Amino acid sequence: MSDDCPKAVFCYKGITYVGKNSGGIDSIDLQGNLTTFVGPGSKRVGSIQEYDGKLLMMRVGNLYQLCLYNLDGSFAKFCQQQGGDCRHGRRVVVAEDLALVASATLRQINVHCAKDLTLLRSTKCEAIPTGGYFSIGSLGGDKLILASYQGIISTLNHVTGHVTYTSSHKLRETAVQPLNDEIVVLSGCDWYNCRNDVSAKVLNIKTGFSALLQNTVIIRKTYSI
Protein backbone atom coordinates (compact mmCIF):
# COMPACT_ATOMS: atom_id res chain seq x y z
CA MET A 1 0.00 0.00 0.00
CA SER A 2 1.34 3.41 -0.99
CA ASP A 3 2.67 5.64 1.79
CA ASP A 4 0.58 8.45 0.25
CA CYS A 5 -2.65 6.47 0.59
CA PRO A 6 -5.17 8.56 2.58
CA LYS A 7 -6.37 6.90 5.80
CA ALA A 8 -8.25 9.69 7.61
CA VAL A 9 -9.99 12.91 6.56
CA PHE A 10 -11.11 15.80 8.76
CA CYS A 11 -12.42 19.28 7.88
CA TYR A 12 -11.94 22.24 10.20
CA LYS A 13 -12.32 25.98 9.55
CA GLY A 14 -12.37 25.54 5.78
CA ILE A 15 -9.27 23.34 5.65
CA THR A 16 -9.37 19.62 4.86
CA TYR A 17 -6.73 17.57 6.65
CA VAL A 18 -5.76 14.22 5.13
CA GLY A 19 -3.92 11.66 7.27
CA LYS A 20 -1.76 9.27 5.27
CA ASN A 21 -0.34 5.78 5.47
CA SER A 22 3.10 7.36 5.92
CA GLY A 23 2.04 8.93 9.23
CA GLY A 24 2.00 12.43 7.76
CA ILE A 25 -0.89 14.86 7.24
CA ASP A 26 -1.53 17.10 4.24
CA SER A 27 -3.82 20.12 4.27
CA ILE A 28 -6.03 21.28 1.39
CA ASP A 29 -7.46 24.79 1.34
CA LEU A 30 -10.67 25.97 -0.36
CA GLN A 31 -8.74 26.78 -3.54
CA GLY A 32 -7.46 23.21 -3.73
CA ASN A 33 -3.88 24.01 -2.73
CA LEU A 34 -2.20 21.04 -1.04
CA THR A 35 0.59 21.51 1.50
CA THR A 36 2.32 19.32 4.08
CA PHE A 37 0.87 19.96 7.53
CA VAL A 38 2.77 17.25 9.44
CA GLY A 39 5.65 15.19 8.05
CA PRO A 40 5.74 11.36 7.93
CA GLY A 41 5.87 9.41 11.19
CA SER A 42 6.53 5.90 12.41
CA LYS A 43 2.86 4.78 12.24
CA ARG A 44 0.01 5.54 9.87
CA VAL A 45 -2.67 8.09 10.75
CA GLY A 46 -5.92 6.41 11.75
CA SER A 47 -8.05 9.35 12.92
CA ILE A 48 -8.00 13.15 13.11
CA GLN A 49 -10.22 15.16 15.48
CA GLU A 50 -10.33 18.70 16.85
CA TYR A 51 -9.97 19.82 20.44
CA ASP A 52 -9.74 23.38 21.74
CA GLY A 53 -8.59 24.79 18.41
CA LYS A 54 -5.94 22.10 17.93
CA LEU A 55 -5.83 18.90 15.88
CA LEU A 56 -5.74 15.60 17.73
CA MET A 57 -4.13 12.91 15.59
CA MET A 58 -4.04 9.18 16.29
CA ARG A 59 -1.29 7.02 14.83
CA VAL A 60 -2.42 3.42 14.94
CA GLY A 61 -0.89 0.12 16.03
CA ASN A 62 -0.60 -2.13 19.08
CA LEU A 63 1.01 0.87 20.77
CA TYR A 64 -1.08 3.77 19.50
CA GLN A 65 0.06 7.37 19.63
CA LEU A 66 -2.05 10.46 20.33
CA CYS A 67 -0.58 13.78 19.19
CA LEU A 68 -1.91 17.31 19.54
CA TYR A 69 -0.82 19.85 16.90
CA ASN A 70 -1.39 23.57 16.70
CA LEU A 71 -2.99 24.83 13.48
CA ASP A 72 0.38 26.08 12.25
CA GLY A 73 1.59 22.46 12.30
CA SER A 74 3.73 22.86 15.40
CA PHE A 75 3.78 20.02 17.93
CA ALA A 76 1.91 20.48 21.23
CA LYS A 77 1.42 17.18 23.14
CA PHE A 78 2.15 13.46 22.72
CA CYS A 79 1.38 10.17 24.45
CA GLN A 80 1.82 6.49 23.61
CA GLN A 81 -0.42 3.80 25.06
CA GLN A 82 -1.00 0.05 24.87
CA GLY A 83 -4.37 -0.44 23.25
CA GLY A 84 -4.36 -3.46 20.99
CA ASP A 85 -4.88 -3.16 17.25
CA CYS A 86 -6.57 0.19 16.53
CA ARG A 87 -6.22 0.10 12.75
CA HIS A 88 -9.44 -0.06 10.75
CA GLY A 89 -12.05 2.68 11.08
CA ARG A 90 -12.24 5.75 13.30
CA ARG A 91 -11.20 4.57 16.76
CA VAL A 92 -10.79 7.91 18.55
CA VAL A 93 -13.32 10.69 19.19
CA VAL A 94 -13.39 13.80 21.36
CA ALA A 95 -16.27 14.10 23.84
CA GLU A 96 -16.15 17.37 25.77
CA ASP A 97 -12.70 17.31 27.45
CA LEU A 98 -12.04 13.61 26.85
CA ALA A 99 -10.34 11.72 24.04
CA LEU A 100 -11.88 8.24 23.78
CA VAL A 101 -9.99 5.41 22.08
CA ALA A 102 -11.70 2.11 21.19
CA SER A 103 -9.42 -0.93 21.41
CA ALA A 104 -10.53 -4.04 19.50
CA THR A 105 -8.00 -6.48 20.93
CA LEU A 106 -8.59 -5.42 24.52
CA ARG A 107 -12.32 -4.72 23.99
CA GLN A 108 -12.21 -1.54 26.01
CA ILE A 109 -12.46 2.24 25.82
CA ASN A 110 -9.31 4.06 26.88
CA VAL A 111 -10.29 7.46 28.24
CA HIS A 112 -7.66 10.22 27.96
CA CYS A 113 -7.71 13.82 29.11
CA ALA A 114 -7.92 15.70 25.81
CA LYS A 115 -5.91 18.62 27.19
CA ASP A 116 -2.71 16.77 28.13
CA LEU A 117 -3.53 13.24 26.76
CA THR A 118 -3.08 11.58 30.17
CA LEU A 119 -4.80 8.18 30.40
CA LEU A 120 -7.55 8.56 33.01
CA ARG A 121 -9.16 5.11 32.93
CA SER A 122 -9.94 2.06 30.80
CA THR A 123 -13.50 0.77 30.56
CA LYS A 124 -14.24 -2.77 29.41
CA CYS A 125 -16.93 -2.94 26.72
CA GLU A 126 -18.09 -6.24 25.23
CA ALA A 127 -19.87 -4.43 22.37
CA ILE A 128 -16.53 -3.64 20.71
CA PRO A 129 -15.74 -6.21 17.98
CA THR A 130 -12.44 -8.08 18.29
CA GLY A 131 -11.56 -7.37 14.66
CA GLY A 132 -12.80 -6.06 11.34
CA TYR A 133 -13.96 -2.59 10.45
CA PHE A 134 -15.83 -0.41 12.92
CA SER A 135 -16.05 3.25 13.86
CA ILE A 136 -17.17 5.21 16.89
CA GLY A 137 -18.77 8.63 17.23
CA SER A 138 -19.71 10.85 20.16
CA LEU A 139 -23.37 11.45 21.04
CA GLY A 140 -22.41 13.89 23.79
CA GLY A 141 -21.97 13.37 27.51
CA ASP A 142 -21.12 9.76 28.32
CA LYS A 143 -22.75 8.30 25.18
CA LEU A 144 -20.99 6.81 22.15
CA ILE A 145 -22.29 5.22 18.98
CA LEU A 146 -20.57 2.26 17.32
CA ALA A 147 -21.13 0.95 13.77
CA SER A 148 -19.45 -2.36 12.92
CA TYR A 149 -18.83 -4.69 9.99
CA GLN A 150 -21.35 -7.05 11.62
CA GLY A 151 -24.13 -4.74 10.44
CA ILE A 152 -25.00 -3.63 13.96
CA ILE A 153 -25.32 -0.10 15.33
CA SER A 154 -25.08 0.26 19.10
CA THR A 155 -25.03 3.11 21.57
CA LEU A 156 -23.02 2.65 24.73
CA ASN A 157 -21.95 4.37 27.90
CA HIS A 158 -18.20 4.96 27.95
CA VAL A 159 -18.18 5.31 31.75
CA THR A 160 -19.78 1.93 32.47
CA GLY A 161 -19.18 0.14 29.15
CA HIS A 162 -22.83 -0.89 29.06
CA VAL A 163 -24.77 -1.01 25.78
CA THR A 164 -27.82 1.25 25.97
CA TYR A 165 -29.37 0.54 22.53
CA THR A 166 -28.80 -1.86 19.63
CA SER A 167 -30.34 -1.46 16.19
CA SER A 168 -31.97 -4.61 14.82
CA HIS A 169 -31.60 -3.31 11.25
CA LYS A 170 -28.69 -4.98 9.45
CA LEU A 171 -26.59 -2.38 7.66
CA ARG A 172 -23.32 -2.71 5.78
CA GLU A 173 -21.94 0.73 6.64
CA THR A 174 -19.00 0.90 9.07
CA ALA A 175 -18.30 4.66 9.24
CA VAL A 176 -20.59 6.73 11.44
CA GLN A 177 -20.91 10.48 12.07
CA PRO A 178 -23.62 11.61 14.52
CA LEU A 179 -25.57 14.78 13.70
CA ASN A 180 -27.42 14.60 17.04
CA ASP A 181 -28.41 11.86 19.48
CA GLU A 182 -30.78 10.24 16.95
CA ILE A 183 -29.69 11.17 13.42
CA VAL A 184 -26.42 9.81 12.02
CA VAL A 185 -24.64 9.69 8.68
CA LEU A 186 -23.40 6.23 7.70
CA SER A 187 -21.05 5.29 4.86
CA GLY A 188 -18.70 2.58 3.70
CA CYS A 189 -18.80 -1.13 4.48
CA ASP A 190 -16.51 -4.04 5.39
CA TRP A 191 -13.71 -3.58 2.85
CA TYR A 192 -16.52 -2.29 0.63
CA ASN A 193 -17.45 -5.94 -0.11
CA CYS A 194 -15.09 -5.59 -3.07
CA ARG A 195 -17.62 -3.26 -4.69
CA ASN A 196 -16.81 -0.27 -6.88
CA ASP A 197 -19.17 2.02 -4.98
CA VAL A 198 -20.22 2.72 -1.42
CA SER A 199 -23.39 4.20 0.02
CA ALA A 200 -24.00 7.17 2.26
CA LYS A 201 -27.17 7.20 4.37
CA VAL A 202 -28.79 9.60 6.80
CA LEU A 203 -30.53 7.40 9.36
CA ASN A 204 -32.66 7.74 12.46
CA ILE A 205 -31.06 5.09 14.67
CA LYS A 206 -34.13 4.89 16.93
CA THR A 207 -36.48 3.84 14.12
CA GLY A 208 -34.05 2.36 11.59
CA PHE A 209 -35.64 4.50 8.87
CA SER A 210 -34.06 7.06 6.61
CA ALA A 211 -34.06 10.64 7.86
CA LEU A 212 -34.33 11.79 4.22
CA LEU A 213 -36.75 10.97 1.43
CA GLN A 214 -33.80 9.76 -0.62
CA ASN A 215 -31.66 7.75 1.75
CA THR A 216 -28.91 6.39 -0.44
CA VAL A 217 -26.31 8.24 -2.45
CA ILE A 218 -23.90 6.20 -4.54
CA ILE A 219 -20.32 7.40 -4.35
CA ARG A 220 -17.59 6.14 -6.66
CA LYS A 221 -14.73 5.04 -4.44
CA THR A 222 -11.30 6.56 -4.94
CA TYR A 223 -7.88 5.93 -3.46
CA SER A 224 -6.10 9.22 -4.02
CA ILE A 225 -6.62 12.89 -3.29
Model pTM greater than 0.95?
Answer: no
Residue 46 has pLDDT above 80, yes or no: yes
pLDDT tens digits, 116-158: 999 999 999 988 888 778 889 998 889 998 888 777 788 899 9
Predicted pLDDT at 12: 94
The number of domains in the chain is 1
CATH number, domain of 81, equals 2.130.10.10
Q: For 131, which DSSP code?
A: S
Domain that holds residue 141: 6-220
Domain assignment present for residue 206? The answer is yes
Stretch 18-34: mean pLDDT = 93
Domain assignment present for residue 70? The answer is yes
Predicted pLDDT at 215: 42
Predicted pLDDT at 56: 96
Q: How far apart are CA 15 and CA 124, in angstroms?
A: 36
Domain assignment present for residue 202? The answer is yes
Predicted pLDDT at 169: 60
Residue 54 has pLDDT above 60, yes or no: yes
Q: How far apart are CA 97 and CA 145, in angstroms?
A: 18
Predicted pLDDT at 208: 65
Predicted pLDDT at 119: 96
Predicted pLDDT at 225: 27
139: helix, coil or strand? coil
Strand locations in the chain, DSSP E? 6-12, 15-20, 25-28, 34-38, 45-51, 54-59, 63-69, 75-82, 92-95, 98-103, 108-113, 119-124, 134-138, 143-148, 153-157, 163-166, 175-178, 183-187, 197-204, 217-220
Give the N- to C-terminal CA distance of the chain in Å, as an integer: 15
Q: For 192, which DSSP code?
A: G
pLDDT tens digits, 2-24: 567 888 889 999 999 999 988 89
Q: How far apart are CA 177 and CA 184, in angstroms?
A: 6
Q: How far apart are CA 139 and CA 127, in angstroms?
A: 16
Domain assignment present for residue 189? The answer is yes
Predicted pLDDT at 197: 56
Domain assignment present for residue 181? The answer is yes
Predicted pLDDT at 109: 94
Domain assignment present for residue 58? The answer is yes
Q: Name the range with the highest mean pLDDT among 66-80, 143-157, 195-209.
A: 66-80
Domain assignment present for residue 225? The answer is no
Domain assignment present for residue 1? The answer is no
Query: Which residues partner with 83 through β-bridges?
Result: none
Cα–Cα distances in angstroms (integers) from residue 36 to residues 6, 52, 78, 221, in the given order: 13, 22, 20, 24
Q: How far apart are CA 115 and CA 54, in angstroms?
A: 10
